[in-house]
Amino acid sequence: MNRFFNEDVLRILAAPHSWKLVGSSFPSEVEPARRPPAWRMRWSQQHTHGHSVAEIMLVLNGGGLFGYQGQLFAAGPGAAFFMNSGERHDRGQPPGSPDADHLWTMVMEGSTLSFLLRVRKGRWSTAGPVRCQLSSAETGFDASAFLRQSSTGAQLPGEWRRAQCRAALEAIVAKVVEAGYLQPDENSPSAEFQRSVIEAVQHHIRQTAGRGIGLEDMARMAGYSKFHFLRLFRAYAGETPWAYLNRCRRDKVRRMREEGHRHKAIADALGFSCPTAFSRWYRQQRQNHPTA
């Protein structure tokens, strides 16, 4: 018996050929709603956000509409939304939406984190035991690099880019389902899992030098509320997320300066909107950390 999913959901997960994929990197298999209710479109426009990491949402049950990149799509069981970094999508569901369960996967540098989000009375909440972190070694590929290549591989026909994304999600789902059949390891309490999640977020920050990452993005990667994530990060890292992010940025600046990169190139690499914003941040860092 699977600890994570019931038999109805397992049947959906076991049939990736029946999933309907939606994304900007390939021809979508679900058409946008032609005449959605005006109130629903307004709600979506007012409740949208994007994140610095790629996200995948696989609908397990329920229905309703899901806003993605300014359009509404039917979100029935088996619908899979592939959202590249920065692409905007609904933040929650409006009151009166059908109850549903969604499997979300955050695609970080070197690892993925999958968890269950339940929609109840228009509100999203993390629920149940489904929380599975997978390293690139466990999935057999770097999902972040794989999806990034699929989104930029213009020379590959769209249907093959879609096939690549389906294969990546199938591999991740297979590992999540497998974890549900295994008995919980008594030697790996929740504290160890929390530590591994925080370490995965730290790894992503180091690899990207914090480019485009805010507190909400970090919490989203970890699958926790902002308050809970902040508390866990301090407990396991011994400093705040911002202190760690700025330290990684200072290290990146030092390396790029040693390599002879110009001021503007460094500002771009760290995700600052302009060299002036980078200069302002760097002056503050030098004041607080003279050796930076």
More confident residue, 192 or 260: 260
Phi, psi values for residue 224, rounded to 5°? -120, 165
pTM for the model stands at 0.79
Instruction: Give the per-residue pLDDT at 126.
Output: 73
- Is 144 in contact with 135 (CB distance < 8 Å)? no
Binned at pLDDT 50, 70 and 90, residue 184 comes out as: low
Phi, psi values for residue 175, rounded to 5°? -70, -35
Q: What SS3 class is residue 25?
A: coil
- Is 61 in contact with 75 (CB distance < 8 Å)? no
- Is 242 in contact with 281 (CB distance < 8 Å)? no
- Is 201 in contact with 222 (CB distance < 8 Å)? yes
Binned at pLDDT 50, 70 and 90, residue 187 comes out as: very low
More confident residue, 149 or 274: 274
Instruction: Compute the mean pLDDT over every residue in the chain, rounded to the nearest whole number.
Output: 87
DSSP code per residue over 135-148: EHHHHTS-HHHHHH
Span of 114-128, 130-144, 246-260 with lowest mean pLDDT: 114-128
Q: Which CATH superfamily is domain 185-292 in?
A: Homeodomain-like (1.10.10.60)
Instruction: Give the per-residue pLDDT at 53.
Output: 84
Instruction: Give the per-residue pLDDT at 131.
Output: 79
Instruction: Give the per-residue pLDDT at 152.
Output: 67
Binned at pLDDT 50, 70 and 90, residue 23 comes out as: very high
pLDDT digits over 80-101, tens only?
A: 999 998 899 998 889 888 899 9
pLDDT (mean) for 105-123: 85
In which region does residue 92 sit, left (phi positive, over 0), alpha (psi from -120 to 50) or beta (all else)?
left
pLDDT digits over 143-178, tens only?
A: 888 777 776 666 788 898 999 899 999 999 999 999
Q: How far apart are the first and last CA of the chain?
A: 54
**Domain spans, the chain:** 7-183, 185-292
- Is 65 in contact with 73 (CB distance < 8 Å)? yes
**Residue pointed to by tokens 């229905």:** 63
